[in-house]
Amino acid sequence: MRKLSCPSILDNVQPSMVKQYPFPHLVIYDAIPERFAEILTNNFIIQSFDLNANNKRLDISASEASTNNALIDEWKEFIKFHSSSDFFLQVIKIFEDYLGGYNKLSNIDLKNARIGVRNLDSFKDKDILMDAQISINTPVNFSTSVRKVHTDNINKFF
């Protein structure tokens, strides 16, 4: 359950907004209220990151957020909700027309899946592990790629 003051990025999204090409996806403008975005932005903990590396991605995952004393409550609640079963069910409701084959492939009933948090829970007890991250890239001082050529794992939703 989320606090009323904590918005979901999907609060104003309907299944009819899903774009099908080249794959089912959403484009969400103003995903959270401007005032809440200002609170998060104004309380971004840039001092918690080492910015000396060149073009490196740095993250605070959901498993770390709840115990990070530098994060304000709004950040903690926002991350907690977006890695929760309630958020997962919002995603499933929006994309359910496109997930028909997934249940057959995975043998997981997505609407009744046991949801956990990555790096806190395991697949021994949970069917799906969620994560929501605060991520930044360090400044680019010379040309590099944050990530080398790769293929995403087929068992992940993004």
In the predicted model, is pLDDT for residue 153 greater than 80?
Answer: no
CB distance 55 to 29 below 8 Å: no
Nearest Cα residue to 117 out of 90, 84, 152, 140: 84
Q: What is the pLDDT of residue 150?
A: 60
86 φ/ψ angles, rounded to the nearest 5 degrees = -60, -45
Q: Mind spelling out the 3-state secondary structure of 72-107? A: CHHHHHHHHHCCCHHHHHHHHHHHHHHCHHHHHHHC
Q: What is the mean pLDDT of residues 140-157?
A: 69
* pLDDT per position as a tens digit, 28-79: 999 999 999 999 999 999 888 888 989 888 999 999 999 999 999 999 999 9
Read off the DSSP letter of residue 9. Answer: T
156 φ/ψ angles, rounded to the nearest 5 degrees = -115, 140
99 φ/ψ angles, rounded to the nearest 5 degrees = -110, 10
Report CA Rg, the chain.
17
CB distance 75 to 56 below 8 Å: no
pTM: 0.85
Residues contacting 70, CB < 8 A, separation 6+: 45, 47, 48
DSSP string, 17-84: G-B-SSSSB---SS-S-HHHHHHHHHT--GGGS---SSS-EEEE-HHHHTT-TTS-HHHHHHHHHTTS
- Give the domain ranges of the chain: 15-137
